[in-house]
Amino acid sequence: MRSYKLINPTLSNLKKLRSGDFVFLSATVYVLRDMAHKRLLQEKNFPLNLKDKIIYYAGPTPTKKGQPGGALGPTTSSRMDKFCKEFVKKTGIIGIIGKGARSKEANSCMKDNLVYFAALGGLAALGGSCVKNSKIILYPDLGPEAVYEIQIENLPLVVAQDFKGKNIYGECL
Amino acid sequence: MRVIKSKVITQTVAKLCKKAAYILPNDVLKSLKSAQSKETGLAKKILELTLKNADIAKQGIFPLCQDTGSAVLFVEIGQEIKIQGSLEQSLQEGIKQGFKENYLRKSIVFEPLFERKNTKTNAPAIIHYKIVEGKELKINLMLKGGGAENKSQIKMFPPTASKEEIINFILSVVKQAGSNACPPFIIGIGLGGNFESAALLSKQALLRKAPNKNKKYKELEEEILEQINETNIGAQGFGGKITALKVFIEYAPCHIASLPCAVNICCHAARHVEAVL
């Protein structure tokens, strides 16, 4: 099992990763899930600059007083499959963090564009302990489904699909 | 007649929310430790981190999972007690308080299709009431994550279906859940009853800690668990020997025309706690 520490990775750093690699990621990630995808793609002018950024499909718990953020873990990526192609095209993101196998269409739109990381589902206390800063940057009315900008340090991830499209899950949905 | 004040019920439910969200039950911890000892490589590493996650959560800062779930309450009301105030309101208030005080995620929307506006309290909880003999009020709280719940299924079999057909259906549900529902799972199965009661049985099965009291159903639980663990889905779906930690079956009488089978998938964060008043 290959294991890497990545700090603010660029696309060329991410290209070196292979499916199945274990990664400790330190970076600023943009956290969003179902409703934020739906709204963002309905906007006339896309309100975020996500070029060369990593997004994370998640909805954290509220931040406790004195803490930098709440519990953070992945939600099921496949629910975002229907938005994936348009989202990747519109944003130029270089990484997605989520969990679980995705559709053939989602896998093929990630291939040659970005790396798909699996965060560890249900391990959100561990995820929360890697959060250094967290703030809502868009759609606060969505509550846990708002868009967050979260700074993470040493978040454990597994490369689920590498840049060339090799996928750990074997079969797609 | 014994009187229980609604305020006491609210306080109890609020405390249960904290316990359920932050502390992984001992039986699940034990199963995870046993699974970890059987695995190698990536699966072993994942299970090690799963145990570490439980350690961090019990310190009370971060809950086990960010999806602190929909709150499902199983309430057994002894027929010899009297509740002072509204039972329903006191239970719902307990959920609201418990979720607010403990910084748990509010994951419930008012209606499913159009606005999907968040209730911002995690209420209403889904409550199942049962009137029983005695002078006690028993409250079981389950916090059920959406990812695993989404992968649950029900099928109405004909009465002549074989054991193999039932097992194959359960295996297909587990395979479809796969990496999406946070394995290793705990599988609740409801057999018999009717359409809605089979689903309820499958959820109640998840509350059980001990093997089935009926020998045939106990053997069936073991057989299904063995076959699930041959699927090689493994922890987080990356492959491995342990895909499920436990299989629990609840069964009930049913119509001569039917054999309902419901499969409720639960992730490894099996959060359920009980209080007796």
Give per-residue pLDDT as tens, B8-47. 999 999 999 999 999 999 999 999 999 999 999 999 999 9
Shortest distance between the Cα of B100 and any Cα of chain A, in A, equals: 9
Domain boundaries, given as residue ranges, for chain B? 2-22+63-144, 147-269
A118 CB neighbours in chain B (<8 A) are 179, 236-238
A80 CB neighbours in chain B (<8 A) are none
The span from the CA of A146 to the CA of A135, in Å, is: 10
Range of the domain at A121: 3-161
Positive or negative, the CA dihedral B34, B40, B43, B47 is: positive
Q: DSSP labels for B172-219?
A: HHHHHHGGGG-SSEEEEEEEEE-HHHHHHHHHHHTT--SPPSSHHHHH
Contact A76 B181 (CB under 8 A): yes
The reported pLDDT for the residue numbered A172 is: 67
The three-class DSSP label of residue B6 is helix
The reported pLDDT for the residue numbered B224 is: 98
Residue-wise pLDDT for B140-153, tens only, equals 999 999 999 999 99
Domain assignment present for residue A172? The answer is: no
B57 CB neighbours in chain A (<8 A) are 125
- The Cβ of residue A19 has, within 10 Å, a number of other Cβ atoms equal to 18
Q: In what order do the strands lie in the sheet with B271-276?
A: B126-132, B70-78, B137-144, B271-276
Contact A59 B50 (CB under 8 A): no
Which of B32, B180, B186, B233 should we substitute to test contact with A (largest number of A Cβ atoms within 10 Å)?
B180
What's the alpha-carbon Rg for chain B, to the nearest Å? 19
Shortest distance between the Cα of A93 and any Cα of chain B, in A, equals: 23
| Burial of residue A158 (number of CB atoms within 10 Å: 0-12, 13-18, 19+) | buried
Q: From the list B49, B66, B120, which residue is nearest A60 (CB)?
A: B66
B56 CB neighbours in chain A (<8 A) are 125-126, 128-129
The reported pLDDT for the residue numbered A173 is: 67
Q: From the list B56, B103, B179, which residue is nearest A61 (CB)?
A: B103
Domain assignment present for residue A170? The answer is: no
Domain assignment present for residue A173? The answer is: no
In sequence order, which residues have a C-beta less than 8 Å from that of residue A143 and are 6 or more positions away? B106, B118, B120
The reported pLDDT for the residue numbered A111 is: 97
Domain assignment present for residue A36? The answer is: yes
What does pLDDT average to over chain B? Answer: 97
The span from the CA of A101 to the CA of B169, in Å, is: 21
Domain count, chain A: 1
pTM: 0.94
Look at domain B2-22+63-144 and name its CATH class.
alpha beta
Averaged pLDDT, A126-154: 97
Interface of A to B at Cβ within 8 Å reads 1, 20, 22, 35, 58-64, 67, 70-73, 75-76, 78, 99-101, 118, 120-129, 142-145, 156, 158, 168-169, 173
Averaged pLDDT, A5-19: 97
Examine the pLDDT at A171 and tell me if it is beyond 80. Answer: no
Averaged pLDDT, A141-148: 95
Nearest to A74 by CA among A25, A111, A12: A25
Domain assignment present for residue A167? The answer is: no
Contact A169 B237 (CB under 8 A): yes
- Residues of A classed as catalytic: 37
Question: B257 vs B43, B161, B169, CA distance in Å?
Answer: 44, 11, 19
Q: Are B10 and B93 in contact (CB under 8 A)?
A: yes
In this prediction the ipTM stands at 0.94
The reported pLDDT for the residue numbered B241 is: 97
Continuous H helices in chain B? 6-22, 26-38, 41-57, 87-101, 146-149, 163-177, 195-205, 215-228
Shortest distance between the Cα of B80 and any Cα of chain A, in A, equals: 40
The reported pLDDT for the residue numbered A1 is: 81
Q: Please state the three-class secondary structure of B97-114 as a single string.
A: HHHHHCCCCCCCECCCCC
The CATH number for A124's domain is: 3.20.130.10
Q: How confident is the model at residue A90 (pLDDT cuts 50, 70, 90)?
A: very high
Which of B103, B179, B265 should we substitute to test contact with A (largest number of A Cβ atoms within 10 Å)?
B179
Domain assignment present for residue A80? The answer is: yes
The reported pLDDT for the residue numbered B1 is: 85
Q: DSSP labels for chain A?
A: --EEEEES--HHHHHT--TT-EEEEEEEEEEE-HHHHHHHHH-SS-----TT-EEEEB-PPPPPTT-S-----B-BGGGGHHHHHHHHHHH---EEEEBS---HHHHHHHTTT-EEEEE-TT-HHHHHTTEEEEEEEE-GGGGGGSEEEEEEEEEEEEEEE-TT--BTTSS--
pLDDT beneath 50, residues of chain B: none
